[in-house]
Amino acid sequence: MILVRYGEIGIKSRKVRNRLEKLLVRNIQKTLNFNDIPYSSITRDWGRIFVDSGSEAIPVISRVFGVVSCSEVIEIEANIDRIIQMSVEIMSNVMDGKESFAIRARRKKDFPVTSKEIESMVGKEVLEATGKKVNLSSPDVTLYIEVRPPKAYLYNNITQGVGGLPFSSQGKVLVMWDSPFSSVAAWYMMRRGCIPGFIIPHDSVAGAMRDIQGISLWCPGYSLNVVKADSGESFLTSAFKSAKDREYMALISGLNSISEELFRLFKEMKAREPSIPVFFPLIAFDNKQISHKLEEIRAKVKFEELTKEHMVSRKIIKEGHEWIVRDGYVQ
């Protein structure tokens, strides 16, 4: 069983929260299906999502936008004696070579034993069974207990997710391929729930397409639209025109610094098309930070391996003007 946590979704109104939770569940399903990870069910509880699957699902679920963290858990009956018994069993198996431990408990209010009492009762029995020290500030092993009657969940591992909002929960944005780091800018907008489209200079399609294929692996089951800029006009003019004609909500730039001349050009275009905002998600990062993020983004979806399988023919690149990229494939 995998316990999935989300963050920002939890502060929304009940109506919005319900919609975002359902969307997050659908995106988890799509990602598991795409990666051929078996699961028998996905259920929602207040503040948590439970995926009935094995440990192989952890790295896949952790890269679904909206997931803050996840853990493989042991599910048992919400009974204090059973919780103590299973806690001692788990800690006896994982404490070899470790010197200290801590117990962290959470419970729903309808469970009669408080969180602090659970920690104290379990800690006492684990201490007697293992002979190890209690260290609440920097333990070698932490056992987490979540009690949600009629079940309780025990785990000692937490895998961090990418966080953000569920993909496709927000509007469409058009990413300008104006930088080697445009795919990173697109990723950050995807993390905020946006659906990116892409506009590419006519002489940069082949290199850009490979990165877009990789980005599409972060949103299995969704189609990303790609268009080649008109060679008869400036790239910026073509981008603003495409954003307006295709009803994108904003333009996204991959630049992390802007020259005075480029700033002037952006200002001129904004004067012509005031309804289209331009965002620069990477403006606060230096090249080293962005390069590191690009490597991380590629590594988590096995970018090098998968893009070799999905190699695009030169004919498709040369003769096409618009493409759809879905699950790593170009159509």
Over residues 27-64, the pLDDT tens digits come to 999 999 999 999 999 999 988 999 999 999 999 999 99
Mean pLDDT of the chain: 91
DSSP class of 9: G
**If you average pLDDT over residues 122-148, what whole number do you get?**
95
Task: Specify the range with the lowest mean pLDDT, choosing from 101-105, 268-272, 275-279, 280-284.
Answer: 268-272
Task: Report the top-level CATH class of 2-75.
Answer: alpha beta
Residue given tokens 């790593």 in the structure block: 328
Q: In Å, what is the CA distance from 170 to each residue of 38, 212, 239, 249? A: 29, 20, 21, 10
Amino acid of residue 165 = L
**CA distances in angstroms from 70 to 157, 180, 217, listed in the order given:** 8, 32, 20
Cβ-Cβ contacts under 8 Å for 311 (sequence gap 6 or more): none
Mean pLDDT across the stretch 109-137?
A: 95
312 confidence band (pLDDT: 50, 70, 90):
low
pLDDT score at 16: 94
Question: Tens digit of pLDDT for each residue in 219-265?
Answer: 999 999 999 988 768 888 999 999 999 999 999 999 998 888 888 88
Cβ atoms of 45 and 149 closer than 8 Å: no
pTM: 0.91
- Per-residue model confidence (pLDDT) at position 311: 60
At 37, which helix (H) or strand (E)?
Answer: none
102: β partners: 142
Which residues, 6+ apart, have CB-to-CB distance to 274 below 8 Å? none
Going from N- to C-terminal start, the domains of the chain cover: 2-75, 79-149, 172-330
How high is the pLDDT of residue 301? 77
For residue 139, the model assigns a pLDDT of 95
At 253 the pLDDT is 94
Question: Going along the chain, which residue ranges are E strands?
Answer: 2-6, 42-45, 48-51, 67-72, 74-77, 100-107, 133-134, 141-148, 151-155, 159-160, 172-176, 195-200, 223-228, 250-253, 278-279, 322-326, 329-330
Residue linked to tokens 């799509």 = 30
Q: Which pLDDT score, from 0 to 100, does residue 320 have?
A: 67
Banded model confidence at residue 208, pLDDT cuts 50, 70, 90: confident
pLDDT of residue 313: 54
Q: Helix, strand or coil for residue 320? A: coil
231 or 282: whose pLDDT is higher? 282
Q: Which residues of 2-17 are buried (b: 16+ CB within 10 A; e: fewer)?
A: bbbbbeebeeeeeeeb
Confidence (pLDDT) at 231: 72
Q: Which CATH number is 172-330 given?
A: 3.40.50.620
Torsion of Cα atoms, 131 then 137 then 138 then 143, to 10°: 60
pLDDT at 303: 64
Q: Which of 63-72, 162-171, 175-184, 264-273 has the lowest mean pLDDT?
A: 264-273
CATH number for region 79-149: 3.30.2130.30
- Range of weakest confidence among 86-90, 133-137, 270-274: 270-274
Binning pLDDT at 50, 70 and 90, where does residue 177 land? very high
For residue range 78-118, what is the model confidence (pLDDT) as tens digits? Answer: 999 999 999 999 999 999 889 999 999 999 999 999 999 99
Would you state the torsion angle of the CA atoms of residues 11, 2, 43, 161, taken in this order, to the nearest 10 degrees? 30
